A and B are shown apart, each in its own frame.
Chain A
Amino acid sequence: MTQTKQARELITAPLLRRESIGEQYHVLTFDAPQGFNAHAGQFTMLRGAEWGDAPLLPRPMSFLTAGTTPSVLIKVLGEGTARMARAAPGEPFTLLGPLGNTWRTPSAGRRPLLVAGGVGIAPLLFFARELVAAGVRPVAIYGGRTARDLPLEDDLAEVADVHVTTEDGSRGRRGRVTDALPELASDETEIYACGPDRMMAAVAEQCVERHLRCDVSLETPMACGYGVCLGCPVPLVDGSYLYACMQGPCVDASRVAWGAGAHAPVRKELRGTP
């Protein structure tokens, strides 16, 4: 994970376009001539400039692209994302960023393997594009519940060798990303994962067993995005917390106490899995 010292900027930018991918997923692209010098893994706090009192708080969103047309991939989960999914071109949004750290640079002689689950593809697609620009084409596992839960799969395929899994078998291999992981990971592999907590916990467990380096991009509720509200603690195995906004969102998965705090149900379900 690499901490950057860039100044954070709060800008108001109109929505340039909204591309729907099925009903649940949308790519929102903004017109920001001043640009964001953000890197893969970093995020923005995004809010409709005309939302008024509700939804009250901005929503943390990984940058899908940066520069003068920054974009994010959203999945409709609550009122904030539902508003975003209805936004029309020209609607003003406030974007605060870049926030958080970036993905760690792959070690020399190691092969990056990206593991994405659903909307978790956003920071990994950005990362794959950066890797390709640096001359490394990564391998990726992309999993979803069904074929409809694989937004931006074609975009990922342009910059990575993609292996798809779906739980219902409607596309790619039937099963979960962790079913494809064993044969695609070698001792020279370094894993980068982003997806639901449950998925990341399962990936982390495999990687710890095989002594593979695994970084995850954590998603937690947060109000501010820059270390003030203290709403985004992640329990660590050493008994302390890290704050996902400042010391994350990209974190070495072996540091995370997947069995603690909000992650407790995840751990329980893991134990129940044969």
Chain B
Amino acid sequence: MTSQAVRIGSLTLKNPILTASGCFGYGLEYDDFYDVATLGGICTKGLSLHPRLGNAPERICETAAGMLNAIGLANVGVEAFCTEKLPTLRSRNVTVVANIFASSVEDFVAITERLDREEGVAAIELNVSCPNVKEGGIEFGKDPRMSARVTEAVRKTTKLPLWVKMSPEAGDIAAVAVACESAGADALTAINTIRGLSIDVTRQRARLANSTGGLSGPSLRPIALRIVWELASKVSIPIVGIGGVFTANDAIEFLLAGATAVQVGTANFSDPRAARTIADGVRRYCEQRGVSAMELVGRARS
């Protein structure tokens, strides 16, 4: 039996490969390349209550086997997503994970309420790596108590599966993970980017207008894999692994470490067909060994 289907709580995905938020638009930009409905799912660009223009340029730069970004969460807003993007995704049977972010618990709830009225959202993923303006601007995701509070509030608002995306910058990421699990999260996505910096020695200033940016790409992968490995022994809910996955073997590493599904992010920029190619590679790996995708989960741990 080499089924590629994986279960994340109550949600069954066709296969373990999803695309990561911020690295796949709204899933409608890939028509020229392949049918995105064949993926396990897509995570939307982070959605806020109101549209956001994003940061001034420069927003991105390449680093050693990676890139930094400080896009500033530019997005169309949840309303435009629901009316302009989601109907098409729904008609194409794309498994949509709506990634949302806010700077207050109330706004997280308001975005969730809006999404909850729509058909075609398979799950909600909370980006908690943003400052809580009501608590001194500390990122929700760095603090177990604040992470739990936003998780709990969203949990009460919707019956949709709820994933919380872990910030690797939390002092005690395991404590945040456990707090989110207790507060009702159905899965944890690990990990978000790690802040980095690159300086242009000719101009003698930071390359990004925001100075620092989130590091993604292969250079992030060993760190992400280690965090997935550690979290898998701390929580009993599924983990969705993410961090520098560029090949099928990279994705398989995450499954073997304990992730039940894997998100592909920056690789989409290097190759718009990356997620499809990786999903095919994982299937071949399973076929060659006569195992299902679920049977790979956590196998390197025992």
Contact = CB atoms under 8 A, between A and B. Distances in A.
Label chain A's interface by main secondary structure. loop
Contacts of B271: 10, 94
B272 A262 contact: no
Contact of B273 (A10, A80, A224, A234): A10
A224 B67 CA distance: 12
A262 B209 contact: yes
A54 B56 contact: no
A189 B120 CA distance: 53
Given A56-B270, A96-B272, A261-B209, A228 B53 contact: no
Interface in A220-238: 220-224, 226-235
Interface in A1-51: 7-10, 47
Given A228-B24, A233-B54, A56 B65 contact: yes
B233 to A, nearest CB: 29
A58 interface: yes
> Number of contact residues on B: which range applies?
20 to 34
A221 B74 CA distance: 17
B32 A7 contact: yes
A8 B65 contact: no
A58 B274 CA distance: 13
Nearest to B25: A228
A53 interface: yes
Interface in B256-292: 266, 268-273
B206 to A, nearest CB: 12
Given A226-B29, A226-B272, A261 B56 contact: yes
Nearest to A47: B270
Given A56-B67, A57-B269, A227-B25, A260 B59 contact: no
Q: Which of A9, A222, A233, A235 has the most CB of B within 10 A?
A: A233
Is chain B's binding surface mostly helix, strand, loop or mixed? loop
Contacts of B270: 47, 56-58
Contact of B54 (A54, A220, A230): A230
Nearest to A261: B56
Interface string A71-89: 0000000001000000000
A57 B271 CA distance: 9
B56 A56 contact: no
A105 interface: no
Interface string A159-194: 000000000000000000000000000000000000
A228 B62 contact: no
A90 interface: no
B51 to A, nearest CB: 11
B246 interface: yes
Contacts, number: 92
Contact of A53 (B61, B218, B273): B218
Contacts of A224: 268-269, 272
Contacts of B33: 8, 10
Interface in B224-256: 246
B201 interface: no
Contacts of B54: 230, 233, 241
Nearest to B244: A53
A221 B29 contact: no
A273 interface: no
Contacts of A232: 57, 59
A9 B25 CA distance: 18
Given A221-B60, A221-B61, A234-B57, A228 B67 contact: no
Contact of A54 (B53, B65, B71, B269): B65
B189 to A, nearest CB: 19
Contacts of B32: 7-9
Contact of A229 (B64, B209, B269): B269
Interface centre among A57, A96, A220 (most CB of B within 10 A): A57
Interface of B: 23-25, 29, 32-33, 53-54, 56-62, 64-67, 69, 71, 74, 209, 217-218, 246, 266, 268-273
10 contacts: A53-B217, A54-B65, A56-B218, A57-B269, A221-B59, A228-B29, A229-B60, A229-B69, A231-B69, A261-B209
Interface of A: 7-10, 47, 53-58, 80, 94, 96, 220-224, 226-235, 240-241, 260-262
Given A223-B67, A223-B69, A233-B56, 13 more contacts: A8-B32, A53-B218, A56-B65, A57-B62, A221-B58, A221-B60, A223-B60, A226-B29, A230-B74, A231-B59, A233-B54, A241-B54, A262-B57
